[in-house]
Structure 1
Amino acid sequence: MKKIDLYTLNDFTKHDRKIYGFKNLSFGRPIRVKSVLYFLVILTIMIIIRCIPIIGYPLKHIVAVMYLIIPGVLTYLLTDLETEQRNPLTYLKASILYAIRSLRGQSYYRGKVLERRKSYKFYSKIQGGYLTYKEQEEENQ
């Protein structure tokens, strides 16, 4: 059987699903389904954590209204976060990996560690020439 190549326009065909109202109640502006799902997932996680004996102790003492406010604020932050057209969890993972790599002092290109230059030259107008800086070699013991 012959293979048929299918061509699609990736970002052009994506549409955000939106909710405009519930029963006979209009919201005034459309709400994305993704936002509603974020809210429900965060609320569910809070309720599950509340049922765990030691960890849920702080959640048992907050006011009931906070169970709506906290997921609402987190949902607002997640939906308005510019994540470069990625899932917020994928964006968070990439941000954490970037922070770890920068703390290690390593540079990466396509997943491979790059060798860093050991000496640098800077032109200095004050001293009238070039200044050189050489990184100290790490001693392997």
Structure 2
Amino acid sequence: MKKVSTLFLKIAVILIGIPVLALCIFLVPELANVTVKLLPNFAYIKYLVYAVFYASAIPFYYALYQAFKLLRYIDKNEAFSEISVKALEKIKYCAITISILHVLTLPLFYLFAENDDAPGVIFVGLVVPFASMVIAVFAAVLQKLLQEAIDIKSENDLTV
């Protein structure tokens, strides 16, 4: 049963990566062009859009790779080990990096809101940083729980 559920999760990890790749290929250039059209005085912002979205794709895929490795550790019955804690730590740092990179685009959302007189656009810009921070906190909690479980297991092994 465990192999089937981890197989399902591995497929889910792969399927999560495909839409982000499609967004990077098709949507980011379009978004950069729309940015130039909406803010013609700030044509250099096009490169900021490219930099932020492509730079945030790198830690995203690295975090997916770490999640895939974590699922392999579960398959090998190595879930309660230091390497699993390290994988969760790397996922946490990737989520924090993504959040910081997308916070850098908030002034861009402010300019869009000023241009269209729609203050709700700023809240749309907060979705990705907020979601990334939720993932970072979740990974940090799992990391701490897993570390405590490993410590308890090692104490029990020493007392026997």
Answer whether TM exceeds 0.5 for this pair. no
Higher strand share: 1
Q: Which is helix-richer, 1 or 2? A: 2
TM-score (norm 2): 0.28
TM-score w.r.t. length of structure 1 = 0.31
User: Which structure would you say has the larger RCO, counting Cα contacts within 8 Å and 6 or more residues apart?
Assistant: 2
